[in-house]
Structure 1
Amino acid sequence: MTAPRLRIAPSPTGYFHIGTARTALFNWLYARQQGGTFVLRIEDTDRARNRDEHIAGIEAALRWLGLDWDEGPYFQSQRGGLYASAIEKLLADGKAYACDCTPEDVQARAKARGDKTPGYDGFCRDRGLEATSGRVVRLRTPDEGESAYDDLVYGRVAKPMVNVLDLAIRKSNGDPLFLLANVVDDADMAISHVVRGSDHMDNTHSYLLIWEALGYGPRPVFAHLPLINNDAGKKLSKRRDKVAVEDYRDAGYLPEAVRNYLALLGWAPGDDREILTVEQMVAEFRLEDVKRAPATFDERKMQSVNAEYLRALPVEVFVERAQGWLRDRWAPLGAEVQERARTLGEAVAMADFLFLPEPHMDEKEWAKEVAKQPALAAILDGAIARYPEVEWTADALKDATAAVGEEAGVAQLGKAQAPIRLAVSGRRVGPPLFESLAVLGLDRTLARLRSARARLEP
C-alpha cells in the first residue's frame, strides 16, 4: 500500500476557525501516524472575499498549533486551467450542460408547482444551450438508482439519485464552483483520504458524481467529523461564539494545550486520560474511533487543560513564554503608548484593557457619555451590526465607524468613536482606537460593545 495523502483546504475569507483547526489536526495526526503526506491547499476561488492577511493567518495558525505541512500551500486561484479543462470534458461528454436560469426563475417554477422545498429542476437539461459567458454550467445527475459511499465514521451513507440535484459546477462568469475545484484538486494531488466536517456529507454524493464523470478511478476514503457545538448545544457561530484560533492565541493559551483539547473534540484515547503528548496522540489516534455525536466546545474545559500545561512548565520557561506573549501584544501599539505615557506605570494603565477579561469602566466618564450623547445606543448597535462584516484592520474599522456615526446622525468621527472607545477600554482616552480594536480582536470587541449596550437597558 502507498502512504496516504491528506489535505486541509481552508478558504481565506476570515479568521482560522476552531473547527477547521480540529479538522486540520485530525488530518495531520493520521498523516503522521501512517507516514503519509499532509497537504495545505488554499481554496481562494471566491475573489470578492479573499484576503491576503487571511492566507497569512491560516499559515500562522497552523504553525502556532505545530501542524507543519509537507506540500503547499497550493492556491486554487493559480489552477484555473485544470478546472476549465475538466468542465470542457464534462460538456463534451454530455455529462454537463449550460443553464441560463436565474434564481428567480427557479423559485417561480417551484412556486407554480407548489413545491415547498425547491431546488433546481433540470429545466435546461435538454435545451442545448451553448456554454457561453453569462451561463452557468451544471452537472447532469442520473434520475435513477442511488448514490452511496462508506464513511469511516458514519458507516454506509446512501441517497436516492432523484434527490441529488443537478449541481452548478461553473459560475456564469466562468469561475469554477467549490465542489468542481475540490474534486479536480483532490484527484490531481492524489489525495487518498478526505477527512472533513460532517456538514459536507450530503455534497459528497455530488463530489463522487463529478469524480466518476471525469473518470478519476478509485475513489478516496471518506471520514466525516462531527460538528462542534457550543456549551448550549448550538453549532459554533462566529456571530455568537469565540471561534477564531487567533483569539485563543492572543488570550494567552499555550498552543500545545489548544492542540491537546482539540484532539478530544470527537475522539479520545482508550482510557480516561485527557492530557496527552503529541507523540501519544500520533500513536493512538484512529479515524474509526471518532464519535458520531456532535462534540461540545467548552472554553472552561480548555482553560483547565491549559492550566495543566502551564503548571507543568519549568518556572524559567513559564516566565519566558509569558514575557513573549506580552511583547507580542504590546508591539502593535508600543510607539503610540510611548508617545503618550509619562511613566511606565501610565504606559501599562493605558493598555491594560487589552489584557484584562473585562475593562475597568470609568463610571463618571460613562455617565457623562450617556448624558451628552443621545445617539449612544444607535452607535453601539450600529457597531455591533457592522463590525462582523468588515475586514479586521484599523483602516477598515475606521471607515466602518464613520459609517456607523453617519447612520446615527453623528457626522464627526471623534464623537462617533467616543462611545466605542469607552465601551472597549473603559476610558475616554488611550491608544489609537482602531489600532486597539485590531489588537483586541472581533470577538472581544463585540462582547464589550454588547456589555456596554446592556448598561443602557432599563
Structure 2
Amino acid sequence: MTQTRPVVTRFAPSPTGYLHIGGARTALFNWLYARGRGGRFLLRIEDTDRARSTPEATEAILKGLKWLGLDWDGEPISQFARKDRHAEVAHQMLAAGTAYKCFSTPEEIAVWRDANPRQPFQSPWRNATDLPDAPFAIRLKAPRTGETVIQDAVQGDVRVANDQLDDMVLLRSDGTPTYMLAVVVDDHDMGVTHVIRGDDHLTNTARQIQIYDAMGWPRPVFAHIPLIHGEDGKKLSKRHGAVGLHEFAALGYPASAMRNYLARLGWSHGDDELFDDDQAREWFDLPGIGRAPARLDFKKLEHVSSHHIGAMDDQALLKTLEDFLKETGAPALTERQRERLTLALPALKEKAKTLPALLDQARFALIDRPVEVDEKAARSLDTVSRGMLKSLTAALQHASWQRDELEQAAKTVADENGVGLGKIAGPLRAALAGRTATPSVFDMMTALGRDESLARLQDQTELAG
C-alpha cells in the first residue's frame, strides 16, 4: 500500500515510574521513522490510571526524552484530559449499533466465567431490547465469526480468531473510558499513521482494530517490535543491572552513544554498527527490525560509547562533561579547570569508554597544588628520582613546551642518569598527578602548561634534600 498521508508517529508512556530502556528505544524508533520522512513525532502521556500516575513520573519521562535528544512536536497530550471525547465516541458507537449497553454486574460475570472456563465472556445483553433503568457499561459488539488480521510491518500477518475475543468494555458503568478505547480514539484524532510499539501489545492490537473497523476509521500501520532481553536471554529486569534510562545516563554513557546503541538494538542496516544521527534518520526503516528479542550487551554499549566520545567535538564534549557533573551533583568546573581540561581532551577522549572514565583520566587537570600523592605513587619518589626531577625541572625552564621537546628533555635526563625513560616517567606521574595510572606524562605537561607543570615538579624537588 502506498503511503500518501504525512507520517505521524507517537510515543505514549504511562507515567507510573521511570523511563525504561525499552520505552526509550520505542520512542527512538518512532522519532527516527518520523524525522527521517519529514513527519511529526507526538508525545501522549497515558495517565488514565489516576492511582498510579504521578506528576513526578511524567517529569522524569520528559527529562529522559530530552536527555536522549528526542524532540517532539507540539505539547504533550494528556489522555485523561480527553476522557469526554472517549465517552463521546463510545456513545456514537452505541447509537450506530456497533456497541450495546451491558447491565451484567461483576458478580454475574464472575459466575458466568466460573461456569465457562477458558471462554471469553458473552454478555446476555448483546441483542436485548427490553432494557432496565440501571447503571450499564458500553461494550463493543465484536464479530463472533471469522478472524481479525493484524497486518504488521515487523511480525507479518498475525491472525486472531474472533471467537477468542470478547465484547470488550468501552465505557465503564461509572462513565470512565477504558484504555482500549482511549488509545484508538487518541491515535485517530492525533492523525497517527504508524503505531510502533512493543510486541507485548499484539493482543491489544487485535481488539483495537475492531474499534477502528466499527468506527469506519482507517487503520494505522502497525509495527510491533520485540522486547529487550538481558545478556542471558531472559526478559530484562533489575537483576541484569541498569534498566532505566536515567541509570544509563548516570553511568556516563553520552546521549549520542545511547541513540546509536538503542537504534542498533533490534534493528540493523547491513553490517553498520557505528553511525551518527543523520545516518540513523536516513537509514531507519521498519523492514530492518528483526523479530527476535534483542539482547542488552554492555560490552557493545561501551564500544559504541567509546567511539562517540572519541568522535565528539572538544567543546561539545566539554559541555557534555559539565552537564554530567551538574546532574551527578559534583562541583562545577572552575575556569582554570575548564582551560586545562580543554587542552587535555584531545589526548584523553580516544580511549575513554564513559564520561566518568574520562574524568578519572583527567583528574590531573582538575586538581590543584599541592598534589596529594597516593601510597603507591609515593614509592617512586625516592631521593634519586627526586634528583632526576630536579635536573629535569632545570632542563625545562626554557623549553618551547612542545610535546616532542618535552619528551627529548626527559630522555636526556634519563640518559645522563643511566636509566631508561620509564624510570623517570614514574616520578613524573607522581609529581604531576599523584598516582601511577595516568595519561602520558607529556600529554599531562602539555595540558597543564609550563607554569603549573614546573610548579608541581618544584614541589617534589624541594623534598630531594
Are 1:274 and 2:269 counterparts? no
What is the percent sequence identity of the aligned residues?
42
Name the counterpart of 1:307: 306
Q: C-alpha separation between the residues in 2 aligned to 1:145 and 1:245?
A: 42
Q: C-alpha separation between the residues in 1 aligned to 2:133 and 2:10?
A: 33
**Please, what TM-score do these two structures have when normalized by structure 2?**
0.66
Summarize deviations over 1:22-64 as a string: whole Å, max 9, x none: 1111111111111111111111111111111111122111111
Contact 2:230 2:240 in 1 (8 A): no
In the alignment, structure 1 segments of 5+ residues that lack a partner are: 333-354, 357-458
Pair 1:274–1:212, CA change in 2 (3 A): same
Q: C-alpha separation between the residues in 2 aligned to 1:128 and 1:266?
A: 52
State the superposition RMSD in angstroms.
2.5
Name the counterpart of 2:208: 207
Name the counterpart of 2:58: 55
> How far is 1:99 from its partner?
3.1
Are 1:89 and 2:92 counterparts? yes
Amino acid at match of 1:208: I
Q: C-alpha separation between the residues in 2 aligned to 1:49 and 1:131?
A: 35
Are 1:22 and 2:25 counterparts? yes
Pair 1:12–1:316, CA change in 2 (3 A): same
Name the counterpart of 2:364: none
Q: C-alpha separation between the residues in 2 aligned to 1:19 and 1:210?
A: 27
Name the counterpart of 1:452: none
Q: C-alpha separation between the residues in 2 aligned to 1:239 and 1:169?
A: 38
Q: C-alpha separation between the residues in 2 aligned to 1:253 and 1:67?
A: 16
Name the counterpart of 1:73: 76
Q: C-alpha separation between the residues in 1 aligned to 2:89 and 2:290?
A: 36
Contact 1:44 1:75 in 2 (8 A): yes
Amino acid at match of 2:210: L
> How far is 1:180 from its partner?
0.5
Name the counterpart of 2:188: 187
Are 1:283 and 2:287 counterparts? no
Pair 1:132–1:243, CA change in 2 (3 A): farther
Pair 1:101–1:307, CA change in 2 (3 A): farther
Name the counterpart of 1:11: 14
Summarize deviations over 1:47-91 as a string: whole Å, max 9, x none: 111111111122111111111112331111221221111011112
> How far is 1:100 from its partner?
4.3
Pair 1:70–1:229, CA change in 2 (3 A): same
> How far is 1:118 from its partner?
4.7
Contact 2:229 2:296 in 1 (8 A): yes
Are 1:258 and 2:258 counterparts? yes
What SS is found at the alignment partner of 2:203? coil
Amino acid at match of 1:125: R
What SS is found at the alignment partner of 1:72? coil
Pair 1:248–1:104, CA change in 2 (3 A): farther
Once the two structures are superposed, the pairs formed by residues 55-454 of structure 1 within 5 Å of their partners are 55-101=58-104, 105-113=108-116, 115=117, 117-127=118-128, 135-216=136-217, 218-237=218-237, 242-271=242-271, 273-313=272-312, 317-330=316-329
Summarize deviations over 1:165-217 as a string: whole Å, max 9, x none: 2112223332111110111111111111111111111221211111111122x
What SS is found at the alignment partner of 1:71? coil
Larger Rg, first or second structure (1 or 2): 2
Pair 1:106–1:301, CA change in 2 (3 A): farther
> How far is 1:315 from its partner?
5.6
Pair 1:317–1:145, CA change in 2 (3 A): closer
Amino acid at match of 2:268: A
Pair 1:46–1:133, CA change in 2 (3 A): farther
Contact 2:104 2:123 in 1 (8 A): no
What SS is found at the alignment partner of 1:194? strand
Pair 1:314–1:123, CA change in 2 (3 A): same
> How far is 1:131 from its partner?
9.8
Amino acid at match of 1:311: G
In the alignment, structure 2 segments of 5+ residues that lack a partner are: 332-355, 358-465
Pair 1:248–1:128, CA change in 2 (3 A): farther
Q: C-alpha separation between the residues in 2 aligned to 1:287 and 1:164?
A: 28
**Please, what TM-score do these two structures have when normalized by structure 1?**
0.67
Contact 1:145 1:161 in 2 (8 A): yes
Q: C-alpha separation between the residues in 1 aligned to 2:313 and 2:30?
A: 31
Contact 2:8 2:34 in 1 (8 A): yes
Q: How many pairs does the alignment contain?
A: 330
> How far is 1:254 from its partner?
0.8
Summarize deviations over 1:2-36 as a string: whole Å, max 9, x none: 32111111111111111111111111111111111
